[in-house]
């Protein structure tokens, strides 16, 4: 049986965190800050469950991987949010189209992201709910998948930030480095990381097989909902060379040969 007590603890951590960030957004009059805590939240869940359930060596590896990804993404998004002069245009549109947005944002923004976080983190919750487990040989190739995804995501973001900081690149398309083999290497790295985390979780508890939909959901979100597709609709209109780039470069999975 799955330990539902751990699932409740994870839900409680997410609820407290998202409620606090929602209150902060009321003072800031900017809900964009929620994106940073999408990153930080996964690490908070992993840490809480690891210490509550006194995990073993395998659980420590899992917690470390999730925390590393969480800290990197959270800081990356927080720094980007801090540099923006106004609320993200997506949330501005939601604010215009939803009277009483200040309180509705609690469930249409913060509540929804919290729910999605809880679902995506289900493999982690299951693996961290079982008694302490020693690392077996299978955990290392699984962890390698996650590390590879994290490195791809990190270096793709570094390349993109450097490209954007150069004023000579305004209106141009980044098509070098990792961006020459995939139009969205950062999103690909993100998806790869979470498939690796699911694999790590399965090596700890076979019950994690039941929640294969969790990494599939993360992949769907970053491709179809909040990531690749949404971004490309804008880039096609604002980057003259983007159509050619689309014709020459794989959309998601890197073309290596």
Domain layout of the chain by residue ranges: 4-248
End-to-end CA distance of the chain: 45
Whether 257 shows a pLDDT value over 70: the answer reads: no
Long-range contacts: 157-161, Cβ < 8 Å, 24+? 157/76, 157/186, 160/186
Q: pLDDT for 12-55, tens place per residue?
A: 999 999 999 999 999 999 999 999 999 999 999 999 999 999 89
Are 135 and 62 contacting, i.e. CB atoms less than 8 angstroms apart? no
Q: How confident is the model at residue 196 (pLDDT cuts 50, 70, 90)?
A: very high
Enclosing H/E stretch for 74? helix 57-83
Average pLDDT score over the chain = 95
Q: How confident is the model at residue 84 (pLDDT cuts 50, 70, 90)?
A: confident
Q: How far apart are CA 37 and CA 168, in angstroms?
A: 32
Q: What is the pLDDT of residue 136?
A: 94
Q: Which residue has the tokens 């929804």?
A: 112
68-77, 78-87, 185-194: which range is least confident on average? 78-87
Q: pLDDT for 88-104, tens place per residue?
A: 888 998 999 888 999 99
Q: How far apart are CA 246 and CA 251, in angstroms?
A: 7
Q: Which residue has the tokens 């330990």?
A: 3
Q: pLDDT for 109-141, tens place per residue?
A: 999 999 999 999 999 999 999 999 999 999 999
Q: Which residue has the tokens 């965190």?
A: 17
List the beta strands (DSSP E) in 168-214.
none
């Amino acid at each position: 049986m799955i330990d539902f007590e751990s699932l409740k603890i994870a839900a409680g951590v997410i609820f407290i965190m998202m409620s606090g960030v929602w209150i902060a957004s009321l003072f800031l009059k900017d809900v964009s800050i929620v994106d940073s805590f999408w990153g930080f939240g996964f690490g908070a869940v992993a840490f809480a469950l690891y210490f509550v359930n006194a995990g073993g060596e395998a659980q420590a590896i899992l917690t470390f991987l999730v925390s590393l990804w969480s800290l990197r993404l959270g800081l990356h998004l927080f720094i980007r949010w801090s540099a923006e002069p106004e609320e993200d245009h997506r949330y501005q549109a939601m604010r215009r189209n939803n009277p009483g947005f200040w309180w509705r944002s609690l469930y249409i923004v913060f509540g929804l992201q919290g729910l999605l976080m809880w679902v995506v983190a289900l493999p982690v919750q299951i693996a961290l709910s079982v008694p302490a487990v020693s690392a077996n040989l299978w955990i290392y190739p699984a962890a390698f998948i996650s590390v590879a995804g994290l490195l791809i995501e990190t270096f793709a973001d570094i390349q993109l930030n450097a490209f954007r900081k150069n004023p000579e690149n305004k209106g141009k398309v980044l098509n070098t480095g990792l961006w020459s083999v995939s139009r969205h290497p950062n999103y690909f790295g993100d998806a790869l990381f979470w498939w690796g985390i699911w694999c790590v979780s399965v090596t700890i508890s076979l019950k994690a097989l039941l929640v294969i939909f969790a990494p599939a959901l993360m992949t769907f979100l970053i491709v179809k909902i909040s990531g690749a597709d949404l971004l490309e609709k804008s880039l096609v209109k604002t980057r003259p060379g983007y159509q050619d780039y689309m014709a020459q470069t794989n959309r998601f999975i890197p073309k290596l040969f």
